[in-house]
Amino acid sequence: MKDVQQIKQRFGIIGSSYGLNRAIDIAVQVAPTDLSVLITGESGTGKEVFPQIIHQHSARKHGPYIAVNCGAIPEGTIDSELFGHEKGSFTGALSDRKGYFEEANEGTIFLDEIGELPLATQVRLLRVLETGEFIRVGSSKIIKTNVRVVAATNVQLEKAIEDGKFREDLFYRLNSVPIKIPPLRERVEDINLLFRKFAQDFADRYRMPAIRLDEGARLILEKYRWPGNVRQLKNITEQISVLQEQRILSASELEAYLPAMSGGNLPALVPGSEHRSDSDFSNEREILYKVLFDMKRDMNDLKKLVLDMLQDGGDLNLKGENAQIIRNLYNGESELIKPSAAPAPMAYASRHDEHAIEDTEEFVEESLSLEDKEKELIEKALEKHGGRRKNAAQELGISERTLYRKIKEYAING
């Protein structure tokens, strides 16, 4: 653990989560070998630090270290960049040029965004990994190199293999030792530490007091999903440090800096909600509105359909399960919307019972009080999860904080 702490200080790594410590530990263990390493993780998690840890703790630490962003090099020139070219091999090749693999001989080469490599270049890379040999573009002479390869990607290479965009044999050759960098949302205990470190760094840079968070803001900081991970947290901390006048940030002030705070990080409860604007989901009450009224609309549409059939064709000759479904629908026994006080049973509907159908529709409409249904949903969720509020909040698609407020507002025992 002491070695891990020293590595964190040397390379500026902040955090103490298990996933982060495990990734550092694997990097140190594999460093003395010449095995290829594949680092995976979402964009912004800090994957670029781990090849440096591996290089600095290996026997190659006095050799060259070259980092290459494969996604930033045009497809037409990437072979030349990696493996070099001969004079006159293509337009603009005015002289011989060494590639990165030749320059990194006896050292380490870091191939970032390895999933962006063209298939033809993947074949060349596989040969280097298996034999240590390559050929410059426009040449027939074999060149030997002794390079340690560390690759990184933020895409699922298994999916790219299925899509025919990445070679399976290259994947297994690169993936001799996998290292997974956890996303920031899985390092909740590290989020506040990172924010304080970034806030102090920007305070020193811009010569102003460091920004601080109150308790509510800290909770929001930890609950946010951080799709951009550490990079996003750092950028937002810099924005707050520069733009915020008050140096103690409240929850509402912090929300203004977090993109898609209102809807982008909430579960989509209503089918088709991906086509609606974020303003449609500005709070939990609006989500409940949509659920309830979609259910009500479906019930009313079904009743209208049955009524039209009765008017057009007389009595319906329904038997067995279908007849029972219709009877349950008009008797208020549907599981979708079940009135708290069931109305008197109704006879099987015919075209002469139009008034009864209208009365039933009127009854359901009156029972759809938003507050009553919201309270009922919360009570059912709490009962389903044995009073565990965290699980109930997840079931309802709302935050624990909102659930506590609702329980108090409706005087729910739970």
pLDDT average, residue stretch 359-363: 42
pLDDT the model gives residue 123: 96
Q: How far is residue 402's CA from residue 390's CA, in Å, rounded to a whole number?
A: 11
| pLDDT tens readout for residues 277-310 | 443 444 455 556 556 666 767 777 777 766 666 6
Kindly report, as residue ranges, where domains of CATH 3.40.50.300 are found in the chain: 2-182
- What class has domain 185-255? mainly alpha
Please give the biggest Cα pair distance in the chain: 95
pLDDT the model gives residue 285: 53
Least confident interval from 34-48, 140-154, 233-247, 316-330: 316-330
3 state SS of 111? strand
- Is the pLDDT at 85 greater than 90, yes or no? yes
- Is the pLDDT at 331 greater than 60, yes or no? no
pLDDT the model gives residue 83: 96
More confident residue, 155 or 367: 155
pLDDT the model gives residue 1: 53
- What class has domain 2-182? alpha beta
| pLDDT tens readout for residues 111-129 | 999 999 999 999 999 999 9
Question: Do the Cβ atoms of 164 and 115 come closer than 8 Å?
Answer: no
pLDDT the model gives residue 259: 87
pLDDT average, residue stretch 304-330: 57
Secondary structure tally for the chain: helices H, strands E: 18, 9
Return the percentage of the chain with pLDDT > 90, whole number.
Answer: 58
pLDDT the model gives residue 340: 43
Q: How far is residue 401's CA from residue 252's CA, in Å, rounded to a whole number?
A: 14
Kindly report, as residue ranges, where domains of CATH 1.10.8.60 are found in the chain: 185-255
Nearest alpha carbon to residue 184 among 48, 44, 52 = 44
Q: Which two tokens stand for residue 302?
A: 């079904």
Task: Note the pTM of the prediction, 2 decimals.
Answer: 0.63
Contacts of residue 219, defined as CB under 8 A and 6 or more positions apart, other chains included, come to: 251, 401
CATH topology of domain 370-410: Arc Repressor Mutant, subunit A (1.10.10)
β-pair partners for 149: 109
Question: Do the Cβ atoms of 202 and 26 come closer than 8 Å?
Answer: no
Which one-letter DSSP state was computed for residue 155?
S
- Is the pLDDT at 18 greater than 90, yes or no? yes
More confident residue, 363 or 165: 165
**pLDDT grade, residue 365 (50/70/90)?**
very low
**pLDDT grade, residue 268 (50/70/90)?**
very low
Query: Concatenated DSSP letters for 249-279?
Result: E-HHHHHTTSTTTTTTTS---STTGGGS-GG
pLDDT average, residue stretch 146-156: 97
Provide the phi-psi class of 40: left if phi over 0, else alpha when psi is between -120 and 50, else beta.
beta
- Is the pLDDT at 272 greater than 50, yes or no? no
| pLDDT tens readout for residues 60-84 | 999 999 999 999 999 989 999 999 9
Least confident interval from 198-202, 226-230, 361-365: 361-365
Q: How far is residue 332's CA from residue 335's CA, in Å, rounded to a whole number?
A: 9
Q: How far is residue 110's CA from residue 9's CA, in Å, rounded to a whole number?
A: 22
Residue recorded with tokens 């209102």? 262
pLDDT the model gives residue 323: 54
Question: Do the Cβ atoms of 202 and 242 come closer than 8 Å?
Answer: yes
- Is the pLDDT at 337 greater than 50, yes or no? no
Q: Which residues of 69-91 are buried (b: 16+ CB within 10 A; e: fewer)?
A: ebeebeeeebbbbbbbbbeebee
Kindly report, as residue ranges, where domains of CATH 1.10.10 are found in the chain: 370-410
